[in-house]
C-alpha cells in the first residue's frame, strides 16, 4: 500500500466537497462468520485488523437505536439450533444459535395504537439515553489517533417503526392510521437527537452523522415516494438539519432499490448514499452522472460477485464502478452489503489490492 498523503478525515471531507483527494475513502463491513473463516485461513486478528489493512477512513463513535425496554432479552424456549427470545422492543423472535442471520419474527408487542400510547411510547420516553458517553469518547480518541473521519451513528424512524410494530402492521398503518405512524417516527427521532445532543454536550466533536434505515426491497421502496414524503421524510429532514446546523455531513444507509426517491433524499439534506445495493438493481454507472454532483456514492460493489471468488469478475466490477464514482470525486469504497463468509481471505486480500489500484486518483 502506498504511503497516504492525506488523513482519512481530510480525504472524506474532500469527498463531500468534491475536492481533490489522493485516493477514494474506504470502509467495509463483514458477517461474523466471514471473520471466523478468514482467521482459519490465516488472518491474524479480527475485523479491526481487516479494516487496518484496508486503510479504513471512517470511525463510528456510537450506535443509537432507542428501545422501550433496553437490556431485555428473555429466552422463552430453545432447541439445539435456535432460541426464541422476547427482546428490548417487546417482540418475540426466533434466532439461530451460534451464527448470524435474519431472525423469524413471531410477534410484535406493540401491535396496536393503544399499546403504543399506553405502554410503548411512555417506556421509550422514560428509557435512559441510548448511547454511552465514555465509550463514545474512547472511540473518538481512537479515531483521532488514526486520522479517521468520525461520525455519530444511529437508526432513523422508518427502521424503528418496522422494528417496533412489524412490516405488516407498519404498511397497513401508513394507509389506515398515518398519525400513529408519524407519532412513532417523531418520538423515535426526538430520542435519537436528544441522545446525540447529550453526547456532544459531553465534549464529542464528530465530523458527521451516519443514519441507518432500510426502506426498500429489491424492486422499489416499501411504500410509495408520496407516502414516504408525507410520513417519514420530515423526520429525515429534521435529522439532516440538526447535523448541518452543527457543521456535520450526513450519510444515509438503506438497502434495496431507492432510485425513485433519490431526489427526496437530496431535498432532505442527505449528502451521501450507502451501500447502494447492486443486488437490488442499483448501479452507480447509471445514476452517478445524474446525481454525482448532489449525492456522494458510497459502495455498490456486489458481494454476490465477491462470493464467486472469481478475481477477473470482481476486478471488472470494481474497475468500472470505481471509474464511474471517481469521475464525480464523490465516491467511497464499500461492498454493497456485509461481506459474506463465501468470500475467501485470499480473495478479500485481492479486493484490497483492487481498491488500491483503481481507487487512487
Residues with Cβ within 8 Å of residue 151, at least 6 apart in sequence: 58, 59, 60, 61, 206, 207, 208, 209, 210, 248, 251
Whether the full predicted model's pTM is greater than 0.95, yes or no, is: yes
Distance CA 66, CA 131 (A): 9
- Exposure string (b/e) for 297-317, b if CB count within 10 Å is 16 or more? bbbbbbbebbbeeeeeebbeb
**Residue 277: its pLDDT value, please?**
98
**Residue 75: its pLDDT value, please?**
96
**Residue 3: its pLDDT value, please?**
61
Pairing of strands 82-86, 149-155: unpaired
pLDDT tens string, the chain, 361 residues long: the values are: 556 789 999 999 999 999 999 999 999 999 999 999 999 999 999 999 999 999 999 999 999 999 999 999 999 999 999 999 999 999 999 999 988 888 999 999 999 999 999 999 999 999 999 899 999 999 999 999 999 999 999 999 999 999 999 999 999 999 999 999 999 999 999 999 999 999 999 999 999 999 999 999 999 999 999 999 999 999 999 999 999 999 999 999 999 999 999 999 999 999 999 999 999 999 999 999 999 999 999 999 999 999 999 999 999 999 999 999 999 999 999 999 999 999 999 999 999 999 999 999 9
**Residue 5: its pLDDT value, please?**
86
Q: Report the CATH number of the 8-68+111-358 domain.
A: 3.20.20.210
Q: In what order do the strands lie in the sheet with 74-78?
A: 74-78, 82-86, 92-96, 104-107
* CA distances (Å), origin 342, targets 96, 330, 345: 19, 30, 10
| Domain ranges across the chain | 8-68+111-358, 70-109
**Residue 98: its pLDDT value, please?**
86
Amino acid at each position: 500500500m502506498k504511503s497516504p498523503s492525506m488523513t482519512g478525515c481530510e480525504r472524506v471531507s474532500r469527498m463531500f466537497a468534491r475536492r481533490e483527494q489522493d485516493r477514494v475513502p474506504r470502509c467495509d463491513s463483514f458477517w461474523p462468520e466471514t471473520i471466523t473463516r478468514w482467521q482459519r485461513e490465516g488472518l491474524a486478528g479480527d475485523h479491526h485488523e481487516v479494516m487496518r489493512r484496508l486503510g479504513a477512513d471512517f470511525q463510528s463513535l456510537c450506535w443509537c437505536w432507542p428501545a422501550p425496554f433496553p437490556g431485555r432479552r428473555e429466552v422463552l424456549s430453545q432447541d439445539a439450533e435456535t432460541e426464541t427470545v422476547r427482546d428490548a422492543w417487546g417482540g418475540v423472535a426466533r434466532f439461530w444459535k451460534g451464527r448470524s442471520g435474519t431472525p423469524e419474527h413471531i410477534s410484535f408487542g406493540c401491535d396496536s395504537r393503544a399499546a403504543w400510547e399506553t405502554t410503548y411510547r411512555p417506556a421509550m420516553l422514560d428509557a435512559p439515553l441510548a448511547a454511552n458517553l465514555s465509550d463514545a469518547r474512547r472511540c473518538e480518541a481512537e479515531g483521532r489517533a488514526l486520522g479517521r473521519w468520525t461520525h455519530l451513528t444511529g437508526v432513523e424512524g422508518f427502521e424503528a417503526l418496522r422494528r417496533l410494530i412489524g412490516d405488516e402492521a407498519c404498511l397497513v398503518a401508513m394507509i389506515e392510521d398515518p398519525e400513529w405512524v408519524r407519532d412513532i417516527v417523531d418520538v423515535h427521532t426526538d430520542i435519537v437527537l436528544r441522545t446525540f445532543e447529550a453526547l456532544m454536550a459531553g465534549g464529542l466533536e464528530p465530523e458527521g452523522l451516519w443514519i441507518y434505515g432500510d426502506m426498500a426491497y429489491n424492486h422499489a421502496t416499501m411504500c410509495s415516494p408520496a407516502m414516504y414524503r408525507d410520513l417519514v421524510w420530515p423526520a429525515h429532514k429534521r435529522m439532516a438539519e440538526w447535523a448541518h446546523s452543527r457543521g456535520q455531513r450526513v450519510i444515509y444507509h438503506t438497502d434495496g432499490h431507492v432510485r425513485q426517491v433519490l431526489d427526496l433524499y437530496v431535498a432532505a439534506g442527505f449528502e451521501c448514499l450507502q451501500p447502494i445495493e447492486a443486488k437490488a438493481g442499483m448501479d452507480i454507472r447509471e445514476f452517478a452522472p445524474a446525481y454525482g454532483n448532489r449525492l456522494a456514492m458510497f459502495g455498490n460493489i456486489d458481494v454476490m460477485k465477491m462470493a464467486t471468488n472469481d478475481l477477473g469478475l470482481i476486478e471488472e466490477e470494481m474497475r468500472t464502478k470505481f471509474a464511474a464514482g471517481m469521475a464525480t470525486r464523490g465516491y467511497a469504497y464499500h461492498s454493497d452489503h456485509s461481506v459474506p463468509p463465501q468470500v475467501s481471505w485470499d480473495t478479500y486480500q485481492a479486493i484490497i489490492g483492487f481498491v488500491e489500484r483503481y481507487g487512487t486518483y
